[in-house]
Structure 1
Amino acid sequence: MNNPCPVRIADIELDVERYELRRGGQQIRLERMPMELLILMASRSGQLVTRGDIVKALWGGDAFRDTDNGINTAIRKIRVALGEDPENPRHLLTVKGKGYRLEGLQVFAPQSPPATPPAAVRVLVLPFENKTDDACLDNFCDALADETSANLGMLNPEQILVIARTTAKCYQHTRKSIAEIAHELGLDYMLEGSLTRDRGHVRLRAQLVRCFDQTQVWSGTREMLATDALDMQMEVGAALAGEVSPALAEQQRRMLARRLPIDPCAHDAYLRGRYYWTRRVHFEAGFADHHGLSAEDFIRARGYFETAIDHDPTYALGYVGLSNVYGATATHGFYAARTGYPRAREAALRALELDADLPEAHQALAGVHYFHDWDWRKAEAEFLEALRLNPNHAETSRLYARLLLVVGREAEGQAQFARAEKTDPLGFEGSRIFGLVQSGRYEEVIKEYLAGGPSNHSPLVYQLLATAFEVQGLYKEAVDATVDALTRCNEFARAEAIQTVWTTGGYDAVLQWYLQNLLTRRQSGYTSPFLFAELYARLAKPDEMFHWLEAALADRSPRLCELRTNPWFRSYHSCKRFRNIEKRIGY
C-alpha cells in the first residue's frame, strides 16, 4: 500500500505494517493469500481490482495454476473474516465479469509519531576458559556459555540482542582487549568466565562487564557443581536484565525457572548433548548422506539427552534434544523417516506438554511438520511461535528461511537468513550461502567466495561450493571443494579416493564412482532412495531418476520437502512427470 497507516472497514482494522486484521483489539486469523488480496484491494482505495490484476499480483501471472478457484476461495475467506453476508455484501462487492471493489474504507493515522525506542543493547558471552588440567571440561565450558547465551536470548529482543555462540567462539583464547572486541562487534556488555582448580576444588568464575567504561556490573564465583552452574546463570541473567530494565529482571527469573530441571545433573547432561548435536548438525544433509559422514556426534548427543531425561523425566529441553536427534538422523540418511520422525514428533509434543512456551520445542515440532508431514502451514505456524518466544534464536530463523524459499517467498526467506546472520554474524556464513544455492543463485555464491580470496571456511561452505561449481560446469573446482569439505570432516581416505578418480578419469568417472559406492552401501544397510534420484539427475538419466523419486515418495524421504529448490533437479521443473511428483509432495 502507498499509505502504511492502518485502515478501517466497519469495525475491522487492517494493519498492513503488522500484517494483522483485528476487531476490538483481537486478531482475526486470515491466511496469507486472502490477506494479500485484502491488502491489494485496500491499496486501490475503492477502485475496481480486476481478476487479471489479482492473478498478476498474487501468482505473478502463472497460467499453470488454478487461479479462478484460488481467487474465489480467497474472496470467500475475506468475507468470512469481515463478517459479510455473501448474498448481500456491504463492503467487498463483486463487479460481475470484471472483478471486485472494497468500499467503506477509512484511513487513520496516529495522532503523534511514535517515539523511537532505544536501540537494543548488544551482549556477547565469551566461551568459558578451562584453566584446569582436565581437558574433559573443555566441552562443558563451551556448552555452558552456549546455554547462557540461549537463556539471555529469550529476553525482550527489542532491548537485549545476544550475539550467538559461533561468533563468540572466534574470540576464544584471544589476546584482544574488551575494548577491541566491543569495537569490532558494537557491544554494550560482555560476559567472560573460566574454570579454575584450587586445592582440589574446581570453581566457576564469571564477570559481566559494561563495555563503554569497562565497569564490572556483576561477578561471581561458585564451586563447580551442577546446581551452582544453574545458580550462576540465573544471577548473571538477572544482573544484565536489571541493568536494562527492572521488569526484564523479573521476566528473566520466570523464564529460567521454567527452563531449568529439578535435577541439576540433567542440565549438565543436556549441555554436553547440545555440544555434540551442534557440532554435527551444521552440515548440508545431502552432502553428509551422499558421502556417508559419521553419525558419532549424533549418537553421543542422543546418549546425553537420554541421560538428562533419566535424571529428570520432566525436563522439557531434554525431550527437545531427543526430538532434534531423531529427526536429524533421519534427514541425514541414517535410517528411514518412518523410524525417526514418529519418535521426533512424540518427543517434541512431550516437551510442549511440559512447557508450552519453550521456543526450542516449537521449533522441534516445526521440523517434524516440515521434513516429514510436508505441511507448510503447520510448520510455519510453529516457526513463528518459536520466533515470537525467542526472536534471537538463529537456528529457527535459518530453518524457517528454508521453508519460505520452498513455498516461493524468496524475499522473506532471504530476510530470515539475514536475521540469522544478524544474531550470529560469523557462524551463519554457510547458512546464507545455503539460501543462495536454494534460490539457484550459483554465480553469486562463487563470485562471493572467489572475491574473498583464500580463507579457512567451515565445512558447510565447501559442501555448498561443491554443488555450485558442479552446476556451473566447473568440475575441477567442484572436486577441489569436495576434497576440502571432506578433509575438514576428517574423511581423508574418501577425499584422496575422489581426487584420484578425478585425475585418472574426469568428472563422469567421479559420478560413476559415487554411484558404485551407493550401490555397495545399499547392500549392507539403509540408503535413502532420494540419493539415487539425485545422482541419476546429475548423470542426466531421467528414467532412472524418476524411478528412484517414486521410491523416495514411498519411503517419505525427508529431503523431498525441498525438491523444488534442490539444484540437481532444476532442469526438470518444466517436465510434467516432475510436476506430478511435486503435487504429491504438496506443492
Structure 2
Amino acid sequence: MSNRQKLYFEFGPFQLDSSERVLLRNGEPVAMTQKAFETLLVLVQNSGRLLQKDEMLDTIWPNTFVEECTLFQNIFALRKVLGETAGKHRYIETVPRRGYRFIARVSQTVVGESNRTEALEPAPDLKSIAVLPFQSLNSDKEDQYFGIGMADALITKLSNIRKVVVRPTSAVLKYNGDEHSRITAGKDMKVDLVLEGRILRSADKVRVTAQLVDVVTGAPLWADKFDEYFTDIFALHDKISERVTDALTIQLTNDERERLAKPQIRNSEAHQLYLKGRYQWNRWTEEGFLKSIECFHKVIEIDPNCAIAYAGLSDAYSALAYHGYVSPIEAMPKSKASARRALQIDNSLAEASFSLASCFFLYDWDWLAAEKEFCRAIDLSPAYAIVYQGYGLFLTAMGRFDKAQEFFNRAIELDPVSLLINTSAGFHYYYSRRYDEALNQWQKSLEISNSFGLTHLVIGNAYVQKQMYDSAGAEYQKAAELLGRTPDVLSATGYLYAVRGQREEAREIVRELRELHSRYVADVAIAIVYAGLGESDSALEWLEKGYETRSNKLVYLNVNPVFDGLRADTRFKALLKRVSL
C-alpha cells in the first residue's frame, strides 16, 4: 500500500482508520485506550475467524507476560465502546475457553484505489428466553421440586448455546405455581420467548407437554408432547432442548452440540437428589442450605465424579458462611475444596469457577486470584448474570467503583428482575458515599418487589449516612419483619441507636449480639455498633476477632463509611494492611 493510500474497515456506524489509528462513530472520534484499539484492530482484521486467546495475547502484547484477565478487560471495554449490551453481542462473540470472533459484517476500503469490499454475513440477533417452572399435574408434594428441576435442567442446557440468552433459574422461581400468564412473565423478564410446560407422572412413566411462545405476538413457535420412562429423564431434557434450537433455526457449533449432548448427571436417582438439592438451596434459608448439602452429598455418594453436585455443595457452604449461619472458618474451606474438586472433574464448569472466585474473594482475601477466577467464569459463561454481580461486588470492595457499575449494569441486563442483583447494584454508590444515587437504584428494587428484606436494610443504611434517622428506623423495622433479628439487622439498628445518641439502646443491641455469639455471629456486626458509639478500642477489638474468624464483612473494610471514624487509628491501618487492602 502506497503512502497516499489509507485502509479503512467499516461496520455498522463505525469506521476504523488503521493508518491514523482512530475509531469513528458516524464520523466522530471515539475515545478508547491504545490497547483497546489494538485489540479491536486485530479482531476486525480477522473478522469471521476465531482468534485463540494465546494468539491475541502474543499479537497485542508481544514478548510480554500478560494475564488472560487483561485481555478480558479489553474486550469488556470494547463492548462498552461499541454499545453492546448483555445478550446482544452484534460485534464480538465470546467462544468459551477458546477465544473471540468479530461477527459483524465488515467492509474493507482502500482510499486511493478503486474501493474494494470484503464482507461477512451479519450475525443473527440473539434471542432471549425464559424457561418457566413446569407445572406438575400430580398432587404428590414430592413433585413440588420436579417442575423447577425440569426448568433448571433446560436452563443449564440452553445456556450452552451462544446465540441464546437464557434467564437464570433465580429469575423464574417467582413464577412457580403463579397464576400470571406466560406473556406477563415474559414481559416482566424482558425476554423474546417463553418456554413453558406441564408434567404428568404415572407409575414409571412421565408425560411432558411443552411449548415455546413469542412474547410479543403470543403465538406458539413450537409445541409438542413427550413420553418417557422416568428413569430416562435425561433423554427428555435432550429432546426438548433440541426441539427449541430447531424452532429457533440455530446452527450449533460442534462444541455446543457436545455440551448439549453431555449430561451433567448420568444416574436417575442422583439426578432427582440433585434437583431436590437445588430446590432447597433456592429457598435461601438456613434450613434450605443444610438440606441442600445433605442432598448434594447423597448425589456424590452415587456418582463421585458429578462436578455439578460439588459446585452446588460449594455454593451451599459459602451461603451458610455469608449469611452468618456458621463460622467462615468452618464452612469456607469446605466450599473451596468442593469448588476445586468440581473443576478437577470438569474444568469448563462456570458455576464452579465462580464459586472458587468467591472463596478467593470472601475468605482467602487473595484479590489477584479472585479477579482472575471471576474473569474466567465470565469467559466460560458470558450470559451468567450472577458472576457479573459477584465481580461487581469484588470491584466495589477494591474501590474501583466506576468499573463495578459497568458489571452491575451487565448483570441487570441479563437478569432484570433479580432482587439480589438490583439491590447489589446500589452498593458501589453507597460505598462511594453517593447516597442519593444508591437510594435511586434501591427504589428500582422496591418497584420489583417490596418484600425483599435486604433492600430495606441497605436503604436504612443510606438514610443513616444522610442523618435521616426516623426514615432509617422505619426501614430497619421492615427489614426485621422480613428477615428476622439477624446479626446484620441488629448491627445496623444498634449503629443507628448509637449515632443518634441512644447509647443504652445501642448497648442492649450489643448484649443481644453477644448472646447470639455463643452460636455464631459475625464479629464485625458488634464492631459496627461500637464504631457508632465512638468506642474505638472496643470496635477494633471486635474487628480483630473478625480477622481471626475470617469474616467476609472485612472485604469492605476500606470502603465502609461506618468505619470512617477509625481510619486515622494506626491499629486500623495495620488491620487494613493485614487484609491486603
Measured in 2, the distance between the counterparts of 1:143 and 1:352 equals 23
Bigger shift: residues 541-550 or 349-358: 541-550
1:23 aligns with 2:58: yes
Question: Residues 339 and 4 (structure 1 numbering): CA distance in 2 closer, same or farther, change over 3 Å?
Answer: farther
8 A contact 2:426–2:441 mirrored in 1 = no
8 A contact 2:136–2:146 mirrored in 1 = no
Measured in 2, the distance between the counterparts of 1:542 and 1:536 equals 7
Report deviation, 1:506: 8.2
Report deviation, 1:489: 3.3
- Aligned match of 1:117: 123
8 A contact 1:417–1:435 mirrored in 2 = no
Counterpart of 1:488 (choices 482, 488, 496) is 482
Report deviation, 1:113: 8.3
1:553 aligns with 2:544: no
Bigger shift: residues 511-520 or 312-321: 511-520
Question: Residues 327 and 198 (structure 1 numbering): CA distance in 2 closer, same or farther, change over 3 Å?
Answer: closer
- Aligned match of 2:196: 192
Question: Residues 547 and 464 (structure 1 numbering): CA distance in 2 closer, same or farther, change over 3 Å?
Answer: same
SS of equivalent to 2:320: helix
Measured in 1, the distance between the counterparts of 2:237 and 2:138 equals 21
- Aligned match of 2:6: none
Measured in 2, the distance between the counterparts of 1:438 and 1:161 equals 31
Measured in 2, the distance between the counterparts of 1:302 and 1:263 equals 18
Report deviation, 1:380: 1.2
8 A contact 2:423–2:442 mirrored in 1 = no
Report deviation, 1:324: 1.6
Measured in 2, the distance between the counterparts of 1:169 and 1:470 equals 33
1:359 aligns with 2:350: yes
1:399 aligns with 2:375: no
Report deviation, 1:312: 1.1
- Aligned match of 1:225: 230
1:139 aligns with 2:145: yes
8 A contact 1:323–1:345 mirrored in 2 = yes
Measured in 2, the distance between the counterparts of 1:167 and 1:345 equals 26
8 A contact 1:226–1:264 mirrored in 2 = yes
Measured in 1, the distance between the counterparts of 2:525 and 2:489 equals 19
Report deviation, 1:302: 0.8
Bigger shift: residues 244-253 or 299-308: 244-253
8 A contact 1:239–1:249 mirrored in 2 = no
Measured in 2, the distance between the counterparts of 1:121 and 1:473 equals 46
1:521 aligns with 2:516: yes
**TM-score with structure 2 setting the length:** 0.74
Measured in 2, the distance between the counterparts of 1:14 and 1:190 equals 40
1:126 aligns with 2:132: yes
8 A contact 1:528–1:557 mirrored in 2 = yes
Task: Tell me the percent identity.
Answer: 25
Per-residue displacement from partner, 1:183-232 (whole Å, max 9, x unpaired)?
Answer: 5655333210122356896543322335557244252334572532x222
Measured in 1, the distance between the counterparts of 2:293 and 2:501 equals 41
- Aligned match of 2:3: none
- The one-letter code of the counterpart of 2:22 is N
SS of equivalent to 2:577: helix
Report deviation, 1:319: 0.7
- Aligned match of 1:300: 291
Report deviation, 1:348: 1.0
Measured in 1, the distance between the counterparts of 2:424 and 2:323 equals 17
Question: For residues 380-459 of structure 1, what are the structure 2 equivalents within 5 Å?
Answer: 380-427=371-418, 428-447=421-440, 456-459=450-453
Question: For residues 139-288 of structure 1, what are the structure 2 equivalents within 5 Å?
Answer: 139-156=145-162, 159-172=163-176, 178=182, 182=186, 185-196=189-200, 203-211=207-215, 212=217, 214-223=219-228, 225=230, 227-228=232-233, 230-244=234-248, 247-248=251-252, 250-280=254-284
Measured in 2, the distance between the counterparts of 1:207 and 1:31 equals 44
- The one-letter code of the counterpart of 2:157 is N
SS of equivalent to 1:338: helix
Question: Residues 517 and 354 (structure 1 numbering): CA distance in 2 closer, same or farther, change over 3 Å?
Answer: same
8 A contact 1:530–1:548 mirrored in 2 = yes
8 A contact 2:228–2:236 mirrored in 1 = no
Per-residue displacement from partner, 1:292-323 (whole Å, max 9, x unpaired)?
Answer: xx621221111111111122111001111111
- Aligned match of 1:76: none
Report deviation, 1:372: 1.5
8 A contact 1:309–1:318 mirrored in 2 = yes
Counterpart of 2:559 (choices 560, 565, 574) is 565
SS of equivalent to 1:190: strand
**Unaligned ranges ≥5, structure 2:** 1-19, 25-31, 44-52, 75-109
Question: For residues 497-512 of structure 1, what are the structure 2 equivalents within 5 Å?
Answer: 507-512=502-507
SS of equivalent to 1:279: coil
Measured in 2, the distance between the counterparts of 1:424 and 1:7 equals 30
Report deviation, 1:331: 2.9
- The one-letter code of the counterpart of 2:406 is A
Measured in 1, the distance between the counterparts of 2:375 and 2:509 equals 39
Question: Residues 25 and 491 (structure 1 numbering): CA distance in 2 closer, same or farther, change over 3 Å?
Answer: closer
1:465 aligns with 2:478: no
Question: For residues 294-333 of structure 1, what are the structure 2 equivalents within 5 Å?
Answer: 295-333=286-324
**Unaligned ranges ≥5, structure 1:** 39-107, 281-293
Measured in 1, the distance between the counterparts of 2:260 and 2:71 equals 37
- Aligned match of 1:531: 525
- The one-letter code of the counterpart of 1:519 is R
- Aligned match of 1:88: none
Bigger shift: residues 359-368 or 180-189: 180-189
8 A contact 1:14–1:22 mirrored in 2 = no
